Structure 1
Amino acid sequence: MKEPRPQHSRTFEDLVAEGAAVPTEGWDFSWFEGRATEARPSWVYASSLAERLSHTTAALDIQTGGGEVLDFALRRAAPKTPVLTVASEGWPPNVAKATALLRPHGVAVVASPEDAPLPFADGAFDLVSSRHPVSPHWAEIARLLQPGGTYFAQHVGPRSVFELVEYFLGPLLQEQSAARHPDRERADAEAAGLEIVDVRAERLRMEFYDIAAVVHFLRKVVWMVPGFTVEAYRPRLRALHEQIRTDGPFVAHSTRHLFEARKPDA
């Protein structure tokens, strides 16, 4: 982990302009090094996925983003990679990035909206994976898995980074706070006919060292503050900039849970 970069000599306008200019495609967060930190879950998802891929025949990665996590896992699993690996993604810029990154692995990337059925046969895969899906479609996951197949994923949990969200939006309703709860997802997965193998949850510390990191984060993770733009939130951004300069990094907490489920044998 890199030490925070000193930004106190830079103006609010310079930092905001930088955060607004950084490309947001894919799930590569290397730009944040030295500007923001986030503790990682103990289960080390990408490496755990690699281990499962090494014992898999046909794999599907849902909402793959820019393909970075699947690329890492396939490289780690090599040479014992699945005979067939497919990925899906709904955002066109990410589709292009994932296609370029995953093509050397022989992975086909299918452009598909997040809420649409996927164009694959019933029982086509013995492993379906996803890192931070917007919303798991349990009936579709169950349909795509062959009997005995596994769904293995890392989900965003309830109230993730809500310190930052509520700084901009104010206190949220209790129902909004309860969204993405692992108990609710467990019940939905079981209702779709899946057996729960493992669910583990962790709350992880995050720190934002300058306002550019805040701006880029909210542009990249668009569901945090829907409709976020610098102009719409300039007064709050300026106040947060001064707070960070005076009090040090803005602290928030992400929530993550590991989710493993199995489709019963026929």
Structure 2
Amino acid sequence: MDRTFEELVAEGAAVPTDGWDFSWFAGRATEERPEWGYARSAGERLARARAALDLQTGGGEVLDFALRQAAPARPTLLAATEGWPPNVARATALLAPHGAVVVAAPDTAPLPFADASFDLVLSRHPVTPVWPEIARVLRPGGTYFAQHVGPASAFELVEHFLGPQPEAVRGGRDPEREREGAEAAGLEVEELRTARLRMEFYDIAAVVHFLRKVIWMVPGFTVEAYEERLRTLHEEVTAGGPFVAHSTRHLFVARKPAPETIA
């Protein structure tokens, strides 16, 4: 028997949103993954690093996976930052067995670490990369390795709820502007790859949970405020199949130049 709109919306509204574990979406939504395999590649880099920092680690799930890929090797010094208190607690519990220290720090605040502390800085989907701080905490010769959200990501879904967005909003998170920011901070961009990836939502519960979890997509989202648009989308999915959107991602690899040596 098909479940009603009310039942599905209530389920999506009840699922906890802490952490970055997306396993609840299995069978309800899908998203293609970039070909570069960020977490696996991060694990390879962690296996060679002496001191590593993961910025905006969420619940620590991605770093935990990468460290398991790196095992038994791992950095001697391992730290992570996170700005949302429920995720700080979750990440601390998950990453402590790896010897990681999780520091509560706002996403755009100065990093609470000394200059040149890390030879590897990681980040998966940072809200905003603060390039001067990333450059400051990297050791000369160190690497920033990250996967960023690109411009107009999942905007088919965003614009269903908010209507057409201005070009200034659609063009945010532009990878070339991020390249300029990294270079202005003194980093050398070694690799910048982009991908556009298909997303499918199979029921309205998945949409509700996604918008509650990824809160910057539709700021201030609540079921009550968007009930009419949710109902319209539910009817479209019921009649015509999954709602399709496209995420955008870019792989960002930058290095802090080492000082030139004099022969």
Indicate the TM-score class for this superposition, using the shorter chain for normalisation: over 0.9
Runs of 4+ in 1 over 2 A off after TM superposition: none
2:173 matched residue in structure 1? 180
Q: Which amino acid aligns with 1:144?
A: V
For the residues of structure 2 that align with 1:61 and 1:240, how far apart are their CA atoms?
37
For the residues of structure 2 that align with 1:142 and 1:148, how far apart are their CA atoms?
11
- Over the matched positions of the two proteins, sequence identity in percent amounts to 73
2:159 matched residue in structure 1? 166
For the residues of structure 2 that align with 1:25 and 1:143, how far apart are their CA atoms?
30
For the residues of structure 2 that align with 1:10 and 1:178, how far apart are their CA atoms?
38
* Residue among 203, 214, 217 paired with 1:221: 214
2:142 matched residue in structure 1? 149
- Aligned residue for 2:206, secondary structure, equals helix
* Cα-to-partner distance string for 1:30-58 (whole Å, 9 max, x where unaligned): 00000000000000000000000011000
How many equivalent residue pairs? 259
Q: Which amino acid aligns with 1:32?
A: F
Cα distance, 1:185 vs. partner?
0.3
When the two structures are superposed, what TM-score results if normalisation uses the length of structure 1? 0.97
- Aligned residue for 2:223, secondary structure, equals coil
Residue 228 of structure 2 corresponds to residue 246 of structure 1: no
Aligned pairs for 1:58-207 (under 5 A) are: 58-207=51-200
For the residues of structure 1 that align with 2:99 and 2:122, how far apart are their CA atoms?
17
Provide structure 2 residue ranges, at least 5 long, that are not aligned to the other structure. Answer: none
Provide structure 1 residue ranges, at least 5 long, that are not aligned to the other structure. Answer: 1-7
* Cα-to-partner distance string for 1:110-131 (whole Å, 9 max, x where unaligned): 0001111111100000000000
For the residues of structure 2 that align with 1:31 and 1:160, how far apart are their CA atoms?
21
When the two structures are superposed, what TM-score results if normalisation uses the length of structure 2? 0.98
Cα distance, 1:257 vs. partner?
0.4
* Cα-to-partner distance string for 1:37-95 (whole Å, 9 max, x where unaligned): 00000000000000000110000000000000000111110111000100000000100
* Cα-to-partner distance string for 1:119-178 (whole Å, 9 max, x where unaligned): 110000000000000000000000000000000000000000000000000000101011
Residue 29 of structure 2 corresponds to residue 42 of structure 1: no
* Residue among 8, 19, 42 paired with 1:26: 19
Q: Which amino acid aligns with 1:138?
A: W
Q: Which amino acid aligns with 1:17?
A: A
Residue 194 of structure 2 corresponds to residue 210 of structure 1: no
Q: Which stretch of structure 1 is more off in the superposition, 58-67 or 71-80?
A: 71-80
What's the C-alpha RMSD, in Å, of the aligned pairs?
Answer: 0.6
For the residues of structure 1 that align with 2:109 and 2:126, how far apart are their CA atoms?
13
Q: Which amino acid aligns with 1:215?
A: V
Q: Which amino acid aligns with 2:81?
A: S
1:15 matched residue in structure 2? 8
Q: Which amino acid aligns with 1:136?
A: P
